[in-house]
Amino acid sequence: MWFYIMMFICNLLIPIVMLICGFFMSKYPPKEINGIIGYRTTMSRKNMDTWKFAHDYCGKLWLKLGLLLLIPTIIIQIPFLHSSENAIGYMTLIVEGIQLVAILGSIVFVERALKKTFDENGIRR
pLDDT in tens, the chain (125 residues): 889 999 999 999 999 999 999 999 999 999 999 989 999 999 999 999 999 999 999 999 999 999 999 999 999 999 998 899 999 999 999 999 999 999 999 999 999 999 999 999 999 98
Q: Which domain holds residue 95?
A: 2-117
Under DSSP, the state recorded for 78 is G
What is the number of domains present in the chain? Answer: 1
Any domain includes 124: no
Q: What is the dihedral of CA 60, 78, 13, 87, to 10 degrees?
A: -130
Q: What's the distance, CA 124 to chain centroid?
A: 26
> CA–CA separation, 123 vs 28, rounded Å?
23
The reported pLDDT for the residue numbered 111 is 97
The reported pLDDT for the residue numbered 35 is 87
Any domain includes 62: yes
Any domain includes 52: yes
Any domain includes 28: yes
What sign has the CA pseudo-torsion 86, 89, 93, 94? positive
Residue 23, helix vs strand vs coil = helix
pTM of the model: 0.89
Any domain includes 123: no
